[in-house]
Amino acid sequence: MEIPRLFILNETIRNLYFHVCMWFGMMILFGTSFVYSIKYLRGFSLRNDIFAHQFAAVGSFFGILGYATGTIWANYTWVTDQSQSLGSILKEPKLIGAAIALLIYGAYFVLRGSFTDIDKKARVSAVYNIFAFAMLFPSIWIIPRLVGSLHPGAPGSESGNPALNFKDIDSRLRMVFYPAVIGWTLLGVWITTLKIRLQLFQDKSLINE
Amino acid sequence: MNKINNYLYTVPKWLLFFFGVIFTNVLFAQDAKPEMADLMRSNGKIYVVVAVCLTILIGLFVYVFLLDRKISRMEKENN
């Protein structure tokens, strides 16, 4: 596949099909988890709580993979070529925001684990999950786009807003990128369904429907 | 100290000039080619893409493997 020829990035622009897709998949999985948390609070069915929990778990896993791949990518494009030191990378608002978002979801699992009463656990963690999803937007979408950042999408960069504005991404990349987003997300959903089926089987005695 | 200074005077001036020219060339050469023979930066940094792809694949395999172990344990408990 032909890709646009860019300075500094060179062939690493192909990471768009992996790194960016991880974050897109994470957003979709967290969004699904959010919907199931609301559904749980509407009817208090433990089935919806299991769905919300497993979608959040696989979403966090995708987020960790996105973070890991981002560190590799940044190491070879941000650190030396633009004479950036490690110090300026650590100040990167996108990285801090993403770390905060993942830690908020980490606290979701800590919260779940700290309850012994099943109904109370489901209810409190559903409310917390809605808060966590709301916090996702300022920390990974809004704040890095308000302040300067090396990451594409920041103000003043020539890259525009490739994640949200489809005109800012090259058509040759788009041809692979959008199917890749769908594919990675479906892979995540499939793993989630396996986990949900396992959990539903384990908690068969608890769910009376 | 005096001895070293004396040795320095014995070196012909044209030789010092010659060394100066050579070493500035080395410096310029470094400026023109700052990227070392690093595997990750060769062939248009394609190995960065390989590393990213492998990270995701290994991560997913480990995750699915742990899930598999969980299912096996549950099967054993039910039998």
Domain count, chain A: 1
A110 within some domain: yes
Separation CA A52–CA A70 (nearest Å): 26
SS (H, E, C) chain B: CHHHHHHHHHCCHHHHHHHHHHHHHHHHHHHHCCCCCCHHHCHHHHHHHHHHHHHHHHHHHHHHHHHHHHHHHHHHHHC
pLDDT block averages, 10 residues each, chain A of length 209: 75 88 95 97 94 96 95 81 67 90 96 94 96 93 83 71 70 87 96 94 79
A62 within some domain: yes
Q: pLDDT tens across B33-73, in order?
A: 555 546 777 777 888 899 999 999 999 999 999 999 999 99
A9 within some domain: no
Q: Which residues of B touch A (CB under 8 A)?
A: 40-41, 43-46, 48-49, 51-53, 55-56, 59-60, 63-64, 67, 70-71, 74
At A128, give phi and psi (nearest 5°). -65, -40
A180 within some domain: yes
Q: Which of B35, B36, B38, B48 should we substitute to test contact with A (largest number of A Cβ atoms within 10 Å)?
A: B48
Please report the pLDDT score of residue A189 as a whole number. 96
Q: What is the pTM of this model?
A: 0.81
A100 within some domain: yes
A77 within some domain: no
Residue B16: pLDDT over 70? no
Residue A139's domain comprises: 14-68+89-202
Which residues 154-193 of A have a C-beta within 8 angstroms of B?
187, 191
